[in-house]
Amino acid sequence: MTRFFRFGALVATTALAGLSGAAMAAPNPFASPSTLPLQAPRFDVIHDSDYKPAFLQAMAIQKGEMRRIANNHAAPTFDNTIAAMERSGRMLDRVSLTFYGVYQANTNPTLDKTQSDIAPLLSQHQDSIYLDAKLFKRVETLYNDRAHLDLTPEQAQVLTLYYQQFVHAGAKLSPADQVRLRALNTQISTLETAFQQKLLAATRDGALVVDNKAALAGLDDGSITAFAKNAADRKLPGKWVIPLQNTTQQPDLTDMTDRATREALFKQSWTRAEKGDANDTRATIATLAHARAQKAALFGYPDFASYVLYDQMADTPAAVQHFIAELAPATRTQQDREAARIQETIRKDGQTFTLQPWDWMHYAEQVRKQDYALDENQVKPYFELNTVLRDGVFFAATQLYGITFKQRTDIPVYNPDMMVFEVFDKDGSTLGLMYFDYFKRDNKNGGAWMSNFVGQSRLLGTKPVIYNVANFAKPAAGQPDLISFEDVVTMFHEFGHALHGLFANQTYPMVSGTQVARDFVEFPSQFNEHWALDPTVFAHYARHYKTGAAMPQALVDKIKKAATFNRGYNMGELIAAAQLDMAWHALPASAPQQDVDAFEKAALDKTGLNTALVPTRYRTSYFLHIWSNGYSAGYYAYLWTQMLADDSFAWFREHGGLTRENGQHFRDLILSQGHTQDYGPMFRAFYGKAPDITPMLNHRILGTDPN
């Protein structure tokens, strides 16, 4: 998963009226640009208590900037209106990008309180900008006269996007509807924050506590030691604590041989946010879904999905449903085949029970070993995290794009586990900075993501400062950082997002880098995953952590062959989640608030998939993507962009694979374009035709094309 916080000059930024002069006068580390390289955040001087006053001061500054633009007596021009708005909010960008980077990955009660206090204020003042009639009048005047303004293509795109966003934010609503919209936006923002905080606490508290070491049979000594440390950290001596990942299925289910423990861990995951306690998210979700539907109705849309998809590549809910419908039948067929094979394995194991969701991962691994002779414990010694990063992720980027990397130990970080690298372009010039925060913590949200501390813009003279975050298990002291191949793929995925940000080459922040639609933004990351198994790249990083020996070819072949297994499961849990998301956001405003569990069951029953055995990747009650991270009516984007990624990799293979020429072609036509063009023409310029679902079906479902 990837999270993007789009705090450009206007997007998701706000300002606050009525701030006292004393508060504005207070010194703050965000008041001026950082003096570190590329304006990297001053984590050496920033304190948790600095964020809230910085937000308030920054919002007040931007409020004044916007007022001056709106009240300008000169006729509107692109420079005095659009470019002026792009230049505004610099302090707000600094504090927003830094705060949300830390808040998502290293939160604490002070940051939680700051988020609760600030979220509704950000929402309110975003409204004060987009609903400013004088400001919109200037934008609308320029938009209506755009054919005569002699704009560059990028300027024309920025002007169009500003106009569309103003309209989509309510600029053309009646005064009464604007009042209602402001109230709904505040309510929605507050609910989203409440959901996120409840879920983080529920996930932390939902960790499985084990009293008997025998119940951990099958797990390796390193994991058991880590779980004992988790328990000690929680003041539970003599016990073991297994933390939950953000997904329904949990990685440790693969190795656990004790079925009762597997069931207990699965059910802790499934019910983490449904305990009927203060962290139960269901009431929050029911209210939030209803509020979103009401907001869509204000704009004349039948549902929130229609409201959201207006600027996406897919365009309409009907197009999304048609796309998913093309995937579901083949996926169901694969699920049934896989379930039958797993049930057979259970029987051969001397067991008589019927396959349940908590058995799938464990026995799928047995099938993998039997049919493909692959044992993850044989594989992990060849995947040491730092070697994968430097000799795999970085190596592929160098081969494709000519960029190089140098670790920086003089750049302050918010957690000592982090690494920072300076990135150099093919001509030796500095391209940007990259932070990596890979290890799981109790105060870190689940999953993996990328975002910026500093965005690229020629107008502002800034270069990208980017971070990748993941949740890999941290090894015990003195132990190697060995990861699974799934973790390897995650590293390539998130770095694909980073490349999209690093190669940003735009003048205006609004269209720079990863500031693109949800169903396009995952395209570069899904594409970059393919290089994890490219023979040249794989041979360069898959080396034994003790001896440095390359992985034996027989084991490499097993990994590639095993990649064709469990395709029905992997695709099915994604499709179910996408359908669940679309169902929630297809509710009309006239529908009453829903019983969350009943609605979820009905929605999943309609998928045509075997959701009893292949549960949705995220249940409604812990679906962070759609209730707090901006992917509402957009989770399908992961599937849509898999199609774009698989098409693109097919193009690479047809044109010679891992070459600088091919990499430059992809960089020039996709990675460096930001949102300077519409997505369909941009993709066709690279691929030569419209997206084609065939490579995706072959690669992701049918298993006929493992790489």
Rounded CA-CA distance 242/250 in Å is 10
Sign, CA torsion 392/397/400/405: negative
**What residues contact residue 526 under an 8 Å CB cut-off, 6+ apart?**
493, 496, 638, 641, 642, 644, 645, 646
Query: What is the maximal distance between C-alpha atoms in the chain?
Result: 84
Is the distance from CB of 635 to CB of 617 less than 8 angstroms? no
Q: Which of 338, 365, 376, 494 is catalytic?
A: 494
Instruction: Identify the burial level of 634 via C-beta atoms within 10 angstroms of its C-beta, where 0-12 means exposed, 13-18 middle and 19 or more buried.
Output: buried
CA distance 474 to 227: 11
Residue 548, helix vs strand vs coil: coil
Alpha helices in 585-656 (DSSP H): 596-605, 624-627, 637-654
Q: How far apart are CA 285 and CA 434, in angstroms?
A: 35
Environment class of residue 585 by beta-carbon count within 10 Å: exposed (0-12), middle (13-18) or buried (19+)? buried
All residues at 6 or more sequence positions from 248 whose CB lies less than 8 Å from its CB, including other chains = 266, 269, 270, 357, 573, 615, 616, 617, 618, 619
**CA gap 373, 559 in Å, rounded:** 9
Active-site residue 494, yes or no?
yes
Q: At what angle do helices 567-584 and 317-348 cross, to 10 degrees?
A: 140
SS (H, E, C) 259-322: HHHHHHHHHHHHCCCCCCCCCCCHHHHHHHHHHHHHHHHHCCCCCHHHHHHHHCCCCCHHHHHH
For residues 244 and 268, the answer to whether their CB atoms sit within 8 Å is yes
Q: How far apart are CA 136 and CA 134, in angstroms?
A: 5
Other residues' Cβ atoms within 10 Å of the Cβ of residue 180? 17
> DSSP string covering 489-517, please?
HHHHHHHHHHHHHHT---SSGGGSTT-S-
Task: Check the CA dihedral 192-438-229-252 and report its sign.
Answer: positive
Helices (H) and strands (E) in the chain, counts: 29, 7
**Catalytic sites, residue numbers:** 494
